[in-house]
Structure 1
Amino acid sequence: MNVEGDRLSNLPDDLIRKILSFIDVKHAIQTSALSSRWRYIWTSMPCIDFSSEGYYMLSNFSKFVTHLLPSRNNQIDVSSVKLTFHGNDGHAHGNDIHVPVKKLLDYAFSHNVQQLNISCLRVKNIEFPLSLFSSQSLKHLTLTGYSHGCKTRFPRPSTLRVVATR
């Protein structure tokens, strides 16, 4: 059988991006080694899934987030961001978490994120920036935490308007 190229590389870019949206961004980047055509597809994914799983230190995860965001295609809006922290009792500190959360949220809001899911698993303290409540594009927000003694702090804006839509 004479097949030019592989079947995956013959798929349309939009379909490849959709497939990649089901895995975390670290694994999506690893797919760039599959072929030269796949090299930059991850940079235009509208759905980004970040997970700190597999990072022993959250500071390494923070460096990953910091270096990844400028490599993304800034012309493409971010429709969905999923951020999952898997903290260890001895390694999850508020400052380690706050840096990637703030950078990722600032980036997502500047690229018109519509859906945001944040899960903090076994994380002791986390503080969310005020930008979480001032986004004009955000339509769906899910915050999840699974930890005894978890302290989630939200900033207190001087005015906060909650609008329910159908």
Structure 2
Amino acid sequence: MRRPKKVDRLSSLLEDIQSHILSLMPTKFAVQTCVLSKRWRYTWMSITKFDFDDIPPLGFSSLETFVDRVLGSCKSSQIESLRLTFFGYPVQESSVSNWIDKAVTLNIRELDIQYQFFELPSSLFTCTVAQHPQS
């Protein structure tokens, strides 16, 4: 007896919808979807909400390397949100400053930083506020 072929309904969704779904999960899990298939290899690069926590994902020796690669690979022209939570993992202050600078160049709308004793970079205070397109 033949088994019915399973349909991959998630892959058949529009790329904008896939990106939105991936944006709802922690970034390290969204990036890991690249191993699902060739179709999913670069889908995570269009997410607009980034959520980084203390723990580097498997395959990365440091959290800084992971965040650098993710933000450097971002294909979106506007980031909805960037959440950085670093309490238990040592992160260079210069790296956090560079990530904020990168987010500013990508027209960030919301920034949430949970980090001990950090001086905000001046680029954050000189960025312009992007307007949401009217639906």
TM-score by length of 2: 0.78
2:112 counterpart residue number? 117
Q: Which of the numbers 92, 97, 102 marks the counterpart of 2:97?
A: 102
Gaps of 5+ in 1: 140-166
1:10 counterpart residue number? 12
What's the CA shift string for 1:18-71, capped at 9, x where partnerless? 11112222211101111211111111111111222357xxx9212222233222
1:105 aligns to what SS in structure 2?
Answer: helix
1:70–1:126 distance in 2 versus 1, CA, 3 Å? same
1:23–1:97 distance in 2 versus 1, CA, 3 Å? farther
1:9 aligns to what SS in structure 2?
Answer: coil
Q: Percent identity?
A: 35
1:112 aligns to what SS in structure 2?
Answer: coil
Larger Rg: 1
Q: Which amino acid aligns with 1:2?
A: K
1:126 aligns to what SS in structure 2?
Answer: coil
CA distance in 2, matches of 1:8, 1:29: 16
1:53 aligns to what SS in structure 2?
Answer: coil
1:76–1:138 distance in 2 versus 1, CA, 3 Å? closer
CA distance in 1, matches of 2:130, 2:27: 21
| C-alpha displacement of 1:138 | 6.6
Greater percentage in strand: 1
1:51 counterpart residue number? 53
User: What do you get for the CA RMSD once the two structures are aligned?
Assistant: 2.3
